[in-house]
Structure 1
Amino acid sequence: MTTMKIAKSLTDEMSYSNRVGVHPQDLDENVKHIFMKTSAGDFCFSLVRETRMPRGTIALSGPQRKWAYVTVGEQVRVTNFSPSSEQRMVCQVVLDAEYIGKTQDTTRVDSDALAREFQQLCAGVVLMRNEPLVMIIPNSSKKLLLNVKSILLSSLDSKSTKESNIGIMNANAGCTFERGEGSSLNLTGKSKGKGVIQTSVINPDWDFDKMGIGGLDNEFSAIFRRAFASRVFPPDIIEQLGMKHVRGILLHGPPGTGKTLLARQIGQMLNARPPKIVNGPQILDKFVGESEANIRKLFAEADEEEKRLGPNSGLHIIIFDEIDAICKQRGSMAGGTPVHDTVVNQLLSKLDGVDQLNNVLVIGMTNRKDMIDDALLRPGRLEVHCEIGLPDESGRQHILRIHTAKLKENEKLGKDVDLKDLASRTENFSGAEIEGLVRTATATAMNRLIQTKGGVHVDTDASEKLQVYKSDFDNALSNDCKPAFGRAADALEGLLTNGIVNWGSPVARALEDCQMLMRQAKFSDRTPLVSALLEGPPSSGKTALAAHIAKNAGFPFVKVLAPSDVVGYNEPAKVHHIKRVFDDAIRSPLSIIVLDDIERLIDYSPLGQRYSNTVLQGVMVLIKRPPPPGHRLFVLATSSRRELLHELDILNSFTAIIHVSNLSRSEQAVKALKEMNLFDDKQCQEFHQKTAGRKLWIGIKKLIASAEMARQAENDYEIPTKLIGLLEDDQALQLPNC
């Protein structure tokens, strides 16, 4: 405990800081707050050190001396005040405000501007209930006298709050201003009046339904843990720990999954300065140096406040949508201007350069994380990477509940609509696609009331009773709404025109092996990646077999990658397309990729044994690349050139190799013709009699095509003979004398 003499504040700046002044050598440099014991009680103040102060004195402003009942020259006892952890977290303060002097001015004063100024002015200052404070109205010379009416503290976990008589002001704490009794002060804005509730650094009462976000609870929790938890603590604690706040978050994932929506809500969630939201392309400018200047302008306000207040500065949020437009890999823009490179350099210097800022939070959003410069993704820059993926069933149900809330509230949602059932049927739907589904179902219901005869007429009487039923959602799912990352139903149906013909044990064995591999991919914990090659002669049914397995596997994501999908692509474009298919697949927990005719994908030509090594290496790497934890991938490839794949050393990339055989006996052909209902019993018997004992070698696909051609004969009794002739001409059936 130290005895000191009361003195007046040396300058107006010292008075308006709402701190008391001491000489730097009078108290230990680690002392930031003191208790002053006077005849009227104990009073707590924060310190400002000034070398011009006489030794052994402590300077108080007029309002402070009046509040503590002390006079100039009076001796008081001073001791160190070390606030507890809870006292450091003021999340809300209510202040009575009035003009200093006899000012009678009814000019409107923006309470929100007052709140921002007070947050900066008193950040880190200890506040006590009924303490008088002084400040200047922003952009004015008028002075205000404030009185601390109430202090609300937040707990460490930000789960609860409580009233207190003392606390340390936080730069992000909420401020409410009330007009003092008898004052002419005219306050406007959200921070005015009784009952105004503002958030603390983190609002603990998040309601995802009201915010319009669904299915992102886990992602939001991860962002909070990595990026915001440190901002709950006071600046001096963070300084003692020697840590810096996270300054950047990257939200990436497929289109329509809620990245932009989540970023906007993060900006509103924090009690910070209003977020600056910019689209990446808006930064670019045709004039030299203007793009970099646009970046500097975004950080100018935060830069000025950081220099003025240091660690007590409030939080500034900058949101970049489509950040890949301005932060491409440096050096990747061949033949163009280096504007993208300099924009990246400017952004890096603001986040993690010599004059780095610690009071900013940059949130970037992109669908193409691979295009962003690697330096920007390192710790200290956009270090928190959060993938906003496709919602699971629980998330889809949550999103459906959000988008049908209005229908339900107004009794427009049919009672037969089961959101849980809809969630189970919308696998791989993004949040935007689910919103589109609800919109389409509603439009379908509205169309029932539109009459088109003799013009367009709406039955207004019936519209009051309009209901959106389950059948409307069924119609939308069947006809209009298909997920971008879903099952390739149309492609699979096109490959299964004739179904699977079980003409013998070779087919049954191949089917059984494929089913075993499918179950391994679906259930095995040790092999989340399973790949199989279906090899065999041309037209033996390999593609149909792969499509049959993929269709009946029950995997939510199925993609068919055929040579026809990349016709006209150059090598880099083809590799990019194949990689994008694999990248899309691993976003789903269960995925199947069918690589049809793999030798055609790698541009193989038997003339000169030519192929694309670039595509080959890309396919080999992607086939062996394991999916992320918790995801499973099954790759089915087909090929008619096993010996070629052996020479190219790609066979070792597959978990298993399954042989698909041609039909080799007359009995097998007869069974196939019967199962496909191509021949009747008499025709099958005749065909068998004429081909028994002869060598047969034909693929099922070729047999079906030849049988259909033979069925075009004018007389039914000619059909078996026509088929035999076609097989002989094609050398699939040897002549009797061979």
Structure 2
Amino acid sequence: MNMMKVAKCPNEELSFTNCVIVNENDFPLKVRYIQVTNEMGKHFIYTIRHDRGVKPGHMGFNAIHRKQAMLSLDQERQLVGSLVLEADFLQKKSTTNDPYNTDQMSMSFMEQFAKHGFTVGQPLVFKFQDKKTLSLTIKEIEAADPEAVASGKKREPRKIDFGVLQANSSLARTSHTSLFSADWDFQKMGIGGLDEQFIHILRRAFASRVFPPEVTEQLGVKHVKGILLYGPPGTGKTLMARQIGKMLNAREPKIVNGPEILDKYVGESEANVRRLFAEAEEEEKRMGPNSGLHIIIFDEIDAICKQRGSVAGNTGVNDTVVNQLLSKIDGVEQLNNILVIGMTNRKDMMDDALLRPGRLEIQVEISLPDEQGRFDILKIKTAKMMDHNKLDHDVDLAEIATLTKNFSGAELEGLVKAASSSALKRYIHLGNKIEVDPNAIEKLKITRSDFIYSLENDVKPSLGTSDEALAKFIERGIINWGSTRELVEKGMMFVKQARSPETSNRLCLLLEGAPTAGTSAMAAYLAKNSDFPFIKVINSREMVGFMESSKCLRINKIFDDAYRSELSCIFMNDLEHLMGYSPIGPRYQSLVLDAMYSLLSASPPKGRKLLVICTSKRRSVLEELGLLSVFTAVIRVPYITHQEDIKLVLDESQALTPDEIDAIMDHICHGKVFVGLKKLLGLLDTMRVMKGVESRKRVASFVNLLEDEGVYTPEL
């Protein structure tokens, strides 16, 4: 058979058949398949279709087939005129600072790969002399033009997708090294719930480094040299920094804990900082813009970068370390081949000079994951369980994500570990000795009940709710009497207002009433039923013996934690006690009052909603001190004054029999009652310990208690 020429398919419809189109004069109708062998010696099997639209001696291939088999139109093969290659180290750990002779590399490449066919985007492995093994990528191919060479005329170069390398082909080298590792895969990084933050870092910190150095020189911009990751503990700051180090085609990252820099000897702490940058300085001087990227990761960077002048003592070590770090990142002899990544839980303690542009200019908050983020993290942490069929079918990770509000990534990992321990415990038999079920490997399954048990008993979020503290205030529950129902409805209306996205992001509610009126129980009830993921209690009992400054720091810390949650509720019980108010004098702690005024007046960050519920027994004091004006609403919790309300409380308490209640009401029906709910419930507790006493005496004792406490006045 004669040599066949490659042609296009006669029309688009035939191109979509994925057949090779031939003329019936070239191939009998009974032939259904052909084998095509290209210049590389590769074989391809195709189905053929006969059509007179193809000229005799030609075969119609669609574009996909021509690219796959490296076939060119109307000629037997396509020759390479020039080839553009990008070189990189095959493995990041095999990087070296030794120079490479690119002319010798070109000659060696031509010797090794002459007559080889290449495709744009094709990866290659290339060993040059005794140097390290390189990874090459075909970036661009230009076709050879024999007619132009013969005639001496210049023609525009023609770009092609594939071709065969000839001895007279030319090579062009690109000196820019790829920033990202060849084996880097975003999907396999294991960072759940932080996609948005990670993309922000890629855009800001690495966009300029992806391009060759001449591009940034033309723009007149400098690379970003520093990133600060801040947020609550356990949210993934260290994990993200570690993964950034892995994904970049850079020198092995230097990881240092902040406190390790500090040294007791004079000048040694500053020397430790200089040593971290020494290698990058040497390479910058030797290689200039072609220097590799050096990554330095500081964990707990706030330990060495506190505000200058804020550390007590006259040694000034902290200040000089900050100065040394500032000069290395963006000083007179600034480096362009470094990336400093700092991590801290306390951004507010950092020196301001370190956070300006040119230093740690990208500041990314790694906050608590949202529901989708928690689902992603749980999926990552249970991946091996799923692969080995150890996760029971009743486990719904979406449900677990809903139940774990305000859990950090570390706490979610702890939850998975606790659920695993709960499942393993079922196959351990405790007797005279510990025995393990021999069939545990086959039977082991982590079930939904394991997760629920661990949620209720083992793992609690640090930025979650103070259930135990709230329970102490409402251990007797809420007794429904006339005014209570109205107060609860009114309070829950303000809770709903605090949650609504259409309202202000801060709502301060004050419940005021005389001592024993039940203001604390009412406030705790509203806080608990708000169903906010973050609920904390600020109580004077927990700060007994605190200095004013310590008390302010404690209160401020709780508000800072609240700002990290999307929905937060803070219950501040008894404001007068918190500020140390005494009517003798009068006296109060002015620092605490100032802190309260500032914190209650300030709005939380954008995207956060804060509800503050406070209680007070002296409204007039708050008004005199100017604190009353910061509250959105004030609810008064009154004393019980009506006879029917007394009966409702007695009935619901179940401390007395119906006959005893009727007898008590007969005694007090002609007098005046003025009693707080808390006081009344305390008196009823006395009746509970008199169960064995005669009913008539119990009634008389209760009436006497009311008179002795001054809450009941008989009518004369």
Q: Deviations over 1:163-219 (max 9, x none)?
A: 379xxxxxxxxx976336xx7x4x777x57999xx9932469965553221111111
Q: Which residue of 1 aligns with 2:359?
A: 381
Partner of 1:572: 549
Asked whether the 8 Å contact 1:94–1:177 carries over to 2, the reply is no
Contact 2:88–2:178 at 8 Å: present in 1 too?
no
Deviates more, 1:697-706 or 1:492-501: 492-501
1:38-437 alignment runs, 5 A limit: 92-93=86-87, 115-117=95-97, 132-133=104-105, 163=120, 178-179=126-127, 185=130, 200-202=178-180, 207=185, 210-437=188-415
Partner of 1:98: none
Deviation, 1:148, is: 11
Kept in 2, the 8 Å contact 1:559–1:592? The answer is yes
1:722 to 691, 694, 701: 701
One-letter amino acid of the structure 1 residue matched with residue 588 of structure 2: Y
Q: Distance in 1 between matches of 2:228 and 2:333?
A: 22
Letter in 1 for 2:626: D
> Residues 424 and 344 (structure 1 numbering): CA distance in 2 closer, same or farther, change over 3 Å?
same
Please state whether the residue corresponding to 1:460 is helix, strand or coil. coil
Letter in 1 for 2:528: K
Distance 2:628 2:182 in 1: 55
The number of equivalent residue pairs is 589
Asked whether the 8 Å contact 2:511–2:519 carries over to 1, the reply is yes
Residues 291/497 of structure 1: CA separation in 2 closer, same or farther (3 Å cut): same
Moved more, 235-244 or 532-541: 235-244
Q: Which amino acid aligns with 2:466?
A: A
217-226 or 712-721, which deviates more: 712-721
Moved more, 247-256 or 521-530: 521-530
Cα deviation for residue 307 of structure 1 reads: 2.1
Matches within 5 A, 1:555-594: 555-594=532-571
User: What SS class does the counterpart of residue 319 from structure 1 fall into?
Assistant: strand
Counterpart contact for 1:558–1:591, Cα < 8 Å = yes
Report the Cα offset of residue 521 of structure 1.
0.7
Please give the alpha-carbon distance, in whole angstroms, between the structure 2 residues aligned to 1:94 and 1:223. Answer: 24
Contact 1:711-1:719 at 8 Å conserved across structures: no
Cα deviation for residue 684 of structure 1 reads 1.8
The Cα offsets for residues 643-689 of structure 1, whole Å up to 9 and x where unpaired, read as 00000000001111111101012221111111222233222221211
Unaligned 5+ segments in structure 1 are 1-86, 96-109, 135-143, 151-161, 166-174
Residue type of the partner of 1:718?
K
* Aligned residue runs from structure 1 range 649-688, under 5 A: 649-688=626-665
TM-score of the aligned structures, taking structure 2 as reference length: 0.78
C-alpha deviations, 1:133-183, integer Å up to 9, x for none? 48xxxxxxxxx9666999xxxxxxxxxxx9379xxxxxxxxx976336xx7
C-alpha distance in structure 2 between counterparts of 1:276 and 1:516, whole Å: 54
Verify the 8 A CA contact 2:88 2:135 in the aligned structure 1. Answer: no
* Aligned partner letter, 1:531: C
CA distance in 1, matches of 2:384, 2:93: 36
Distance 1:429 1:111 in 2: 38
Instruction: Tell me the CA shift for residue 469 of structure 1.
Output: 1.0
> Which residue of the other structure, out of 626, 641, 653, is the alignment partner of 2:618?
641
Give 1:718 deviation, angstroms. Answer: 2.3
Out of 676, 684, 688, the residue aligned to residue 707 of structure 1 is: 684
Q: 2:182 and 2:499 mapped to 1: Cα distance? A: 39
Question: Could you tell me which residue of structure 1 aligns to residue 599 of structure 2?
Answer: 622
Cα offset, 1:221, TM superposition: 1.2
Stretch of structure 1 that moved more, 317-326 or 681-690: 681-690
Give the whole-Å Cα distance in 1 for the aligned partners of 2:699 and 2:490: 34
Deviation of residue 538 (structure 1)?
A: 0.8
Distance across 2 between alignment mates of 1:495 and 1:200? 62
User: Which stretch of the first structure deviates more once superposed, 710-719 or 371-380?
Assistant: 710-719
Residues of 2 paired with 1:619 and 1:683: CA distance?
48
Distance in 2 of aligned mates of 1:205 and 1:526? 48
The aligned amino acid for 1:721 is A
Residues 502-528 of structure 1 deviation map (CA, whole Å, 9 limit, x = unaligned) = 211x22222122111111111142311
Alpha-carbon distance in structure 2 between the residues aligned to 1:638 and 1:473: 37
CA contact (8 A) 1:256 1:430 kept: yes
Structure-2 separation of matches of 1:445 and 1:112: 41
Q: State the secondary structure of the residue aligned to 1:464.
A: helix
Is residue 406–residue 533 contact of structure 2 (8 Å, CA) maintained in 1? yes
Note if 1:479 corresponds to 2:466.
Answer: no
C-alpha displacement of 1:406: 1.0
Whether 2:475 is the aligned partner of 1:497: answer: yes
Query: What secondary structure is seen at the aligned counterpart in 2 of 1:362?
Result: strand
Paired-residue identity, %: 49
In the aligned structure 2, how far is the partner of 1:593 from the partner of 1:622?
11
Structure-1 separation of matches of 2:688 and 2:384: 60
Q: Check if 1:462 corresponds to 2:446.
A: no
1:499 Cα offset (Å): 1.1
Is the 2:92–2:250 contact (alpha carbons within 8 Å) kept by the matching residues of 1? Answer: no
SS in 2 for 1:224: helix
Contact 1:209–1:402, Cα closer than 8 Å, also in 2 = no
Give the SS at the match of 2:296.
Answer: strand
- Quick one: structure 1 residues 194 and 345, their matched pair in 2 at CA, closer, same or farther if it must change by over 3 Å? closer
Contact 1:94–1:149 under 8 Å retained in 2: no
Which segment drifts farther, 435-444 or 518-527? Answer: 518-527
Q: Note the alpha carbon deviations across 1:73-132, whole angstroms, 9 max, x for none.
A: xxxxxxxxxxxxxx9xx8x5279xxxxxxxxxxxxxx986874436x769xxxx8xxx64
1:274-333 CA deviation, whole Å, 9 max, x = no partner? 111111111111211111111111111111222223333221110000111111111122
Structure 1: distance between partners of 2:318 and 2:262: 8
- Partners of 1:512 and 1:226 lie apart in 2 by 49
Classify 1:377/1:424 alpha carbon distance in 2 versus 1 (closer, same or farther; 3 Å).
Answer: same
Counterpart position of 2:19: none
- The one-letter code matched in structure 2 to 1:734 is T
Which moves more between the two structures, 435-444 or 716-725?
716-725
What is aligned with 1:171? none
The 3 A distance-change label for structure 1 pair 567 and 306 is same
Once residues 433 and 469 of structure 1 are traced to their aligned partners in structure 2, the CA distance between those partners, rounded to angstroms, is 19
2-side partners of 1:220 and 1:148: how far apart?
Answer: 44
Task: Find out whether 1:731 has 2:706 as its counterpart.
Answer: no
Which residue identity is paired with 2:663? E
Letter in 1 for 2:226: G
CA contact (8 A) 2:233 2:345 kept: yes
| Higher mean displacement: 631-640 or 305-314 | 305-314
Equivalent pair of 1:249/1:383 in contact (CA under 8 Å): yes
For residues 611 and 148 of structure 1, the distance between their equivalents in structure 2, rounded to whole angstroms, comes to 90
Q: Using the TM superposition, give the Cα deviation of residue 270 of structure 1 relative to its aligned residue in structure 2, in angstroms.
A: 1.4
Aligned-pair CA distance for 1:697: 1.2
Which amino acid is 1:163 matched to? Answer: V
